Amino acid sequence: MKYKSVLLSSLLVLSSCVDFLGGGDEKRIAGFYILERVNGVLLPAPLAPEQGCNRTVRKVGQLSLSGRGPDVAPMYDWTIRVDADCQPVPAGVFQGAGDVGGWRLDSPQLSFRSMMDKGRYGAVVEEIPGNPPAVTLEYLGNSYRFRRIDDPTGVVFVQFRDQFGQPVAGVRLLFAFRYGLEGGGTTPETGWFGTGGHVGECQISFTPPDGYEVPATQPNPISVTVVEGPALWVYVSLTKI
């Protein structure tokens, strides 16, 4: 979301002026986390109905804890997504949330200071020797447990060209990475789109813009394997009609 980049930039500027810098121990907790359990239940996990609407957490939420840098405070960024299993969805039914701000470790407690008007609140850190740490966040009466992913990552580039060799803009892509993580976007005039994800199998689905179709010989989705190190380059053919 665009507002997150603005808030993170603000935090970078203001970090040298605030006292919410945390201690050196935050380095052992910093990293990228994925949502694993809700109220002790592995995903997909149900939430209590709201206004008669059943709700389920199916998609993997994310928590990022960045470390300290020169004149930069440790930052956090979390997102939770909830599927409402009813149509139409009544106004006010909780369908997810997110937050951005500064954090520090007062083991076993994380202290969060929101830059999105959520105030100050905490989360519990679980450290088990031989395992990555986990963070449990209580939010609106529900418990969300995130575990850190230490796997290496890689980069995938995809280019779309038509039967005349011309790049195709406006192709919508969805990347389904390991652990249920997703990414995506739309190709610019160059026809190229690149993103990063954890190593392992990745499914790339795409939708061509008006005036183009997928030829019978072109798989959709495409299955690739993300590797650590050199970027993976994928070329896709479309037919201009």
Give per-residue pLDDT as tens, 132-164.
999 999 999 999 999 999 999 999 999 999 999
Record: fold of 2-148: Lipocalin (2.40.128)
DSSP reduced 3-state for 23:
coil
Between 168 and 128, the more confident residue is: 168
In the chain, the percentage of residues whose pLDDT exceeds 70 is: 90
Report the pLDDT value the prediction gives residue 128, as an integer from 0 to 100.
Answer: 86
Among residues 62, 56, 101, the alpha carbon closest in space to that of 78 is found at 62
Whole-angstrom distance, CA of residue 46 vs CA of residue 49: 9
Report the pLDDT value the prediction gives residue 15, as an integer from 0 to 100.
Answer: 39
Q: What are the Cα distances from residue 30, in Å, to 110, 122, 217, 229?
A: 11, 16, 45, 22
Residue boundaries of the structural domains of the chain: 2-148, 153-240
Q: What one-character DSSP code corresponds to residue 180? A: G
> Which bin fits 27, alpha (ψ -120 to 50), beta or left (φ > 0)?
alpha
Give per-residue pLDDT as tens, 179-189.
999 999 999 99
Cβ-Cβ contacts under 8 Å for 70 (sequence gap 6 or more) = none
- What mean pLDDT is reported for the chain? 89
Give per-residue pLDDT as tens, 56-111.
999 999 999 998 777 788 999 999 999 999 999 999 999 999 999 999 998 889 99
CATH class held by domain 153-240:
mainly beta
- Here the tokens at position 194 are 């690149």
Report the pLDDT value the prediction gives residue 95, as an integer from 0 to 100.
Answer: 96
Whole-angstrom distance, CA of residue 82 vs CA of residue 56: 6
Say which amino acid occupies 90. P
Report the pLDDT value the prediction gives residue 6, as an integer from 0 to 100.
Answer: 38
Between 165 and 73, the more confident residue is: 165
